[in-house]
Amino acid sequence: MTTITLAEAPLLNAVLARADDALVHAHRLSEWCGHAPMLEEDLALANVALDLLGQARSLYQYAAEIEGLGRSEDDLAYLRDAPAFRNLLMLEQPKGDFACTIARLFLHSAFLHPWWQAAMRSSDATLAAIAAKAEKEVAYHLRHSGEWLIRLGDGTEESHARAVDALDRLWRFTGEFFARSDDEAALIEAGVLPDPASIRPHWEATVARVLAEATLDRPKDGWMQTGGRRGVHTEHLGHMLAVMQHLQRAYPGATW
């Protein structure tokens, strides 16, 4: 079995982290294919997943270029074990019910949209180009998930209760959005990456506005679960990768 050892390069790790975010979230959304509450939403979630998969491909291609070892995007996506992944912990949690999926998409998109907007001004030309495309896609993701969260929160007694439960379950993972490693601090200082601290006011304002319209209370801040960026994951990621990577690992080098 091929084993990939990644160099400890700050830019490589930063690009991989965002690629892993997109890939893992895309897979979770793809699990709704054929199971969404209505046909229109089945197609909408599939399209959001495809947007994220496209972002993952661009980022993995750039990561492979930075690494310079001849790896491909498929190698980076399918031939790394869970501890090598650097995705946010929220994104690997089980898909849950529809309210959970919508709440996760909204909370992450509310952060990701201003992050990509800021990344469009990156001093790294490739990252800025990826950001220019991703920003437009995530703007739709944010609008779509926000409208659904309002519909659920301000809907029936059951939909409201499910939205409350989803926010309560996911809130402890939101602090990881704004954490930064020592390695990323140097990239932020150089203008390569946006400072997540500068994103927080935008995220807070968006969340407050949508929750108010959805008649949902913001969960109380408290202890926040982190570790994904360091490769410390919940058991859910390993189970997800076992499914996602099965074909590539069972038939190494297979082509259609």
Mean pLDDT calculated for residue range 10-20: 97
Closest CA to 148 of 216, 53, 54: 216
The full set of domain ranges for the chain reads 10-219+226-250
pLDDT of residue 256: 67
pLDDT band for position 53 (cuts 50, 70, 90): very high
Specify the amino acid at residue 49. A
Confidence grade of residue 84 (pLDDT, cut at 50, 70, 90): very high
| CA 91/CA 22 separation, integer angstroms | 9
Q: Quick check: 228 pLDDT over 90?
A: yes
> How confident is the model over 104-128, as pLDDT tens digits?
999 999 999 999 999 999 999 999 9
Residue 16 · residue 87 · CB < 8 Å: no
Three-state secondary-structure class, residue 8: coil
pLDDT higher than threshold 60 for residue 6: no
For the CA atoms of the chain, what is the radius of gyration?
18
Average model confidence (pLDDT) for the chain? Answer: 94
CATH class of the structural domain 10-219+226-250: mainly alpha
pLDDT at 216 exceeding the cut of 80:
yes
Spatial separation of the C-alpha atoms in residues 7 and 249, rounded to whole Å: 22
pTM of the model: 0.94
pLDDT of amino acid 182: 82
List, in order, residues 6 or more apart from 60 with CB less than 8 Å away. Answer: 16, 19, 23, 73, 76, 77
CA–CA gap between residue 153 and residue 165 (Å, rounded): 11
pLDDT score of 2 more than 60: no
What pLDDT is attached to residue 253? 80
In degrees to the nearest 10, what's the CA dihedral of 92, 58, 195, 180? 40
CA atoms within 13 A on the CB side of 210: 25
Residue 46: its pLDDT value, please?
A: 96
Helices 157-170 and 125-153 cross at an angle (nearest 10°) of 140
